[in-house]
Amino acid sequence: MKKLKNEKELLKKAIAEGVKYGEKRGVVEFEATDSASEKILYIYRLLVHDKVIQPLPEDQVSQKTIQHKLAIWASKLK
């Protein structure tokens, strides 16, 4: 897994866009007290469920790999 140049910024963008996506669909309402790791995991599962992104093999699912996957997704957004 090659680290992206600006992965932290892309992850922030992915969280923001993922929250908008989930709330627009009406499936989730995030609270201010929700941790970033909870949001990241939920957004990942939602995007996989909606077939927006390819799922990771279950043995490779970790916080770090999910963050990387969401950063890649965010880099492809307009």
Looking at the chain, list the stretches that DSSP marks H as alpha helix, in order from N- to C-terminal side.
7-25, 36-49, 63-75
Residue 21 in domain: yes
Residue 71 in domain: yes
Q: How many domains does the chain have?
A: 1
pTM score over 0.85? yes
Residue 52 in domain: yes
The residue that leads in pLDDT, 3 or 21, is 21
Q: Using one digit for the tens of pLDDT, what is the confidence trace for 16-44?
A: 999 999 999 999 999 989 999 999 999 99
By residue range, what is the domain housing residue 49? 7-25+33-75
Q: Which CATH number belongs to the domain containing residue 49 in this structure? A: 1.20.120.1930
Residue 1 in domain: no
C-alpha 1/C-alpha 18 separation (Å) is 22
